[in-house]
Amino acid sequence: MPDTGMTARLLVLAIGEAHQLFHVLSPALQLHRMGIQVNCMVSTHWHEQIIWSHAPELGPGIIRSAVMFRNQPLHKCPPRLLNLLFGLKVMLDFDAILTPERTSTLLRRVLGKRCSKLIHIPHGAGDRAKSYDARIGMFDLVLVAGTKDRDMLVHRGIVSGDTCHVVGYCKFDLLPADVPDYFDNELPTVLYNPHFDDRLSSWPAFGEAIIRAFSRNAGMNLICAPHVRMRGRSRQLFDRLVSQYSSASMLFDGGSPDSINMNYTRYADIYLGDVSSQVYEFLRMPKPCVFANAHAVDWRADEHYRHWHYGEVANSAEDVMARVASAIADHPDYAPAQTQGFGSAIEETASSPSQSAASVIHDFLSRELHKG
C-alpha cells in the first residue's frame, strides 16, 4: 500500500495474552506502510517475539508496558488493569488505539472525551456468548471476521451497522507457507483443543480418559493443545498427564508459539474440541470434527453452539473415541455445513483481510482527524 500522506498516530495495545496479538498485527503493519505512525505497547517478551518474527517493520516502535513480564510462560500476562492505569499518559498521545481485547474500554470510562478513538478487532470468530460482550459497543470502530458476528452484534443492539465492518480474518495473513511435520509416520493426527473455562470445557470431565484412550490407540497421532489460558486445576491435570503419557505418537503443548500460530490447526486431520474459536481456524479447509459435550448441553437450538453442527457430538469420553474413529468416514455428511458455517463466520475478501481492515481504519481516521 502506498503512503497516503495522512498524519495520524495509532497505538496497538497488546496487554492481553500473546495469542491475541495475531489478530491485529497484520492490519497494523499495513497502516504503517500507509504512512500512519504505529507503535505497539506490549506486556510480555512473547509479544515482542511475535512482532519481530511476523512484522519486524514494527519492531522499532515497540513500547514496553509499565508492568512487563519477561521469561514467563506464554499463557501468563500482567494484570491488564494495572497496565491501563499506568499507561494512561502514553495512551493520551495517540489519535487511536487498536486492540483485540476489551478491558481497554475502561479508558473510555476514565478519560471520557479525552479518550483516543478505540478500534477493536476481536481475537477469534467463535460462537461463545462472550463473543458478543456488551463492552464491544464502547468502541468507535469494530472490525469483525464475518457476517455472523456483525449480524449478531447489530441484532443485539451492541453496535450499529455504521460502526461495525466485515473485513475477514486478519490472522490468516501472517501464516507462513509451510507447516512443521510433527510425527514421523503417516497416521492421521487428531488435535484435541479443550477450552480453558471449566464451565464449558470437556477437559476436567473427559480429559484424562481421552488421553488414556489415545495412549492405547496405535492407529492415530494426538496433539493435545488446550487453549493457552487454561489455569488452576485443569493446568495441573495437564501437567500430570504430560509426565504420564508422552510418547512418539502423542504431543502435549501447554503454551508454545505453535499452539497459537495455527500450525496445529493446519497440520491436524481431525479436530476434537468443545467451544474454542480455533475450530474456525481449523475449518479454513473443511476437515472432520468431533465435539465433546461434557456438560449435557442442550445445544441443537443454541446459537452459541452452532459449530457443533459441523461434526459428531459425543456425550462421554468413550463416545468421543468412537466418534473420532469414524470421523473421516462421516465427514461428507458435515462438509456442506462446515463450508456454509465457515463462510458466515469468516468472509472471503477480494483483497487480503488485513488490507481491508487497514483501509477501513485509514478512512475512519481520515474522517475523525478532519473533524478535529
Domain boundaries, given as residue ranges, for the chain = 9-169+348-371, 189-345
Positions of the chain with pLDDT lower than 50, given as ranges: none
**The pLDDT value given to residue 218:** 79
**The pLDDT value given to residue 14:** 97
The strand pairing partners of 251, in sequence order, are: 223
CA distance 191 to 185: 16
The total number of residues written for the chain in this structure: 372
pTM assigned to the model: 0.95
CA distance 338 to 127: 14
Whether the domain at 9-169+348-371 and the domain at 189-345 fall into the same CATH topology = yes
Largest CA distance in the chain: 66
Mapped onto helix, strand or coil, the DSSP state of residue 177 is coil
**The pLDDT value given to residue 217:** 84
**The pLDDT value given to residue 3:** 58
Q: Identify the CA nearest to 245 among candidates 290, 203, 209.
A: 209
CA distance 215 to 209: 10
CA distance 279 to 273: 8
> CATH number of the domain at 189-345, please?
3.40.50.2000
**The pLDDT value given to residue 4:** 57
Q: Of all residues in the chain, what percent carry a pLDDT higher than 90? A: 93
**The pLDDT value given to residue 253:** 97
Which architecture, in CATH terms, is 9-169+348-371?
3-Layer(aba) Sandwich (3.40)
The pLDDT tens digits for 275-324 are 999 999 999 999 999 999 999 999 999 999 999 999 999 999 999 999 99
